[in-house]
Chain A
Amino acid sequence: MDLTRLQRVSDFQWRIEPEGAMRVPAVIYADEALVSDMDDKVYEQVTNVATLPGIVRASYAMPDAHWGYGFPIGGVAAFDADEGGVISAGGVGFDISCGVRSMLTGLPRARIEERKQALANALFENIPVGMGSKGEIRLDDTEMDAMLSGGAVWAVERGYGTAEDLERIEEGGRATDAKVPFVSDKARKRQRREMGTLGSGNHYLEVQEVTEIYDEPTAEAYGLGIGNCLVTIHCGSRGLGHQIGTEFLREMAVAAAEFGIALPDRELACAPIKSEVGERYLGAMRAGINCALANRQIISHLTRGVFAELFPEARLELLFDVSHNTCKLEEHAIDGKPRRLYIHRKGATRAFGPDNKTLPAPLRAVGQPVLIGGSMGTGSYVLAGMKEGEARAFSSACHGAGRRMSRSKAYRTWGGRQVVDELASRGIIVRAPSSRGVAEEAPGAYKDVTAVVEAAERACLARKVAKLAPVVCIKG
């Protein structure tokens, strides 16, 4: 991105004043190297979002922003329904409520090492991954409805986890006001064999070791100690969410003109929140969130089953579950006054700071855990939401490293076997159904996640708590 087109507010904040059809400024949080490295499409997309009706304060891009669909991936924008604000299917994305959850195993790395191969094999055998995989759980129409309105609460009621898990999931594990009748038959059909499946692409299940602690009191509140291991799951709403995204993106692309919304890019397809299609999408999208929450809950249950066999002493307590493709109704202070806004986070994580009343008591003093996935070679981070984040970007932070190389180039550059062997030489076991899939997800295909989280911290979006290194990686 051409830096001369941006106003440098600080070393970690860049601003584009409103011009043309922009209603509000655009703000990018990143250091100079990260911004320079961003595609010009990010500039185009973050400024396009600023043209949408009812947008409040600014259109934001997180440090890991890259070229997305209408919205940049790493985009955050708030809309006021009472001011003609819109909801955008592209602003949520195809994988509704795709997200990350981490569970504390209570096991030190040395204990994992005793049975590492067996653990990798058992996880790979018990958790369906990759294209064409099928889940064991098949839902009839009644159970599908119950899952779509109940989310992780439904999953726990069916025996997949415990009530304690729900306190560690956004909204207590269930998006309220899901409107199940607005989920199409095709979306349901796509989900029929996909409950409890991980998917593919950048989705994974990892066993990780805590290798660095940056903030002792917060790490203690989170239960993180050097040398201890976690299990982290990255996946979303599977075929059901993809189909909801597909159908409403198409419908909104056609409907926007009827609402008199001039779209600078067709992919920005949106509709007024207070419109029939807007309300239908909100209801269906919330059902998609519940599908993702139920899915991650089921995969957690499968993981716990594997650990119970191999490590009977492990308990696998949920640290937290965050979603990074959502639109949520939240209260935020604008010019000192509370307003209820629809916050789109596309490839961005909610990052509530300390004292947020929605956080469970043990986390309230330190802020919400913000789970940042890296690549399978470079590790991941646990951050904590900061009070300043509210004013920065409606309490939002980055979500991952972001790709620096396309899938096809990665496949041309590395062989899957080469990647697996190289990681094995560093003590990281990778299990995946497809060698090509591993090559496309090679560590070198991703940006430096460390630079992304450093920028997030310096921009006061979220502060570093711990670094996690991969030990076992199950790739879809």
Chain B
Amino acid sequence: MASSSSPRNRASNITGVPAHWEHFEHDADIGVRGVGGDPATAFEQAAIAMTAVIADPADVRPLHRVRFDCSAPDLELLLVDFLNGVVFEMATRKMLFSRFDVGIEDATLRATAYGEAVDVGRHQPAAEIKGATLTALDVHGREDGTWVAQCVVDV
């Protein structure tokens, strides 16, 4: 459960590196990392990694759609704002999300998240996420043309 390739694979068209997500270790909590062909895809993958902290994304059906926007002075804070937007929607709607469509333009992000209501028996949610943090926060393009978006989330 520590990493996964995504069937929605925008990055592979550009670099040959499949879009994917993974977790990285932090003493008390857990790091989420998304990789994709552009920042938006990396953000989408990071959000799936965040869902995977709670439950297996494969068990979360994309039945309902939730839209939200955010903006920030730089890409790193934009990632934090985006993930915290997902945390807010999960917490207030009691939902989990397994698919994300993200568009980024002029420091503004428009997100559509697809998911369903938490079903404790089926999803077996391991923990709720308190918030995305600025720890190990990093958004950057790599030499192979892919983008990485990551931070630690507080569980």
Contacts and interface: CB of A to CB of B under 8 A. Distances in A.
Interface stretch (B12-20, B35-43, B124-132): B124-132
A235 to B, nearest CB: 12
Contact of A411 (B92, B125, B126): B126
B88 A201 contact: no
A302 B147 CA distance: 49
A445 to B, nearest CB: 11
B154 A407 contact: no
Contact of A66 (B28, B127, B137): B28
A121 interface: no
A73 B28 contact: yes
Nearest to B133: A69
A21 B127 CA distance: 38
A200 B88 CA distance: 16
A430 B88 CA distance: 30
B92 A242 contact: no
A450 interface: no
A95 B28 CA distance: 13
B124 A435 contact: yes
Given A41-B27, A254-B77, A201 B135 contact: no
B84 to A, nearest CB: 5
A266 interface: yes
Contact of B30 (A199, A250, A406): A406
Contacts, number: 138
B104 interface: no
B155 A407 contact: yes
Contacts of A70: 134-135
Contacts of B134: 69-70, 90, 249, 253, 266-267, 269
A130 interface: yes
Contact of B131 (A39, A131, A245, A434): A245
A309 to B, nearest CB: 24
Contact of A253 (B54, B77, B84): B77
B127 A132 contact: no
A406 B152 CA distance: 12
Given A94-B154, A246-B84, A437 B125 contact: yes
A69 B87 CA distance: 18
A243 interface: yes
Contacts of B94: 132, 134, 193
A190 B88 contact: yes
Contact of B152 (A69, A130, A253, A433): A69
A101 interface: no
B85 to A, nearest CB: 10
Contact of B130 (A94, A267, A411): A94
B125 A200 contact: yes
A186 interface: yes
20 contacts: A68-B27, A69-B152, A94-B133, A95-B154, A131-B54, A190-B92, A192-B92, A193-B94, A200-B128, A242-B91, A245-B131, A249-B131, A253-B77, A266-B134, A267-B133, A402-B28, A403-B28, A408-B30, A437-B126, A476-B128
Given A201-B155, A409-B25, 14 more contacts: A66-B27, A68-B28, A68-B135, A70-B134, A70-B135, A94-B131, A190-B88, A246-B87, A249-B131, A250-B80, A407-B29, A407-B30, A433-B120, A434-B120
Interface of A: 39, 41, 66-70, 73, 90, 93-95, 130-134, 186, 189-190, 192-193, 199-201, 239, 242-243, 245-246, 249-250, 253-254, 266-267, 269, 402-403, 406-409, 411-412, 433-437, 439-440, 476
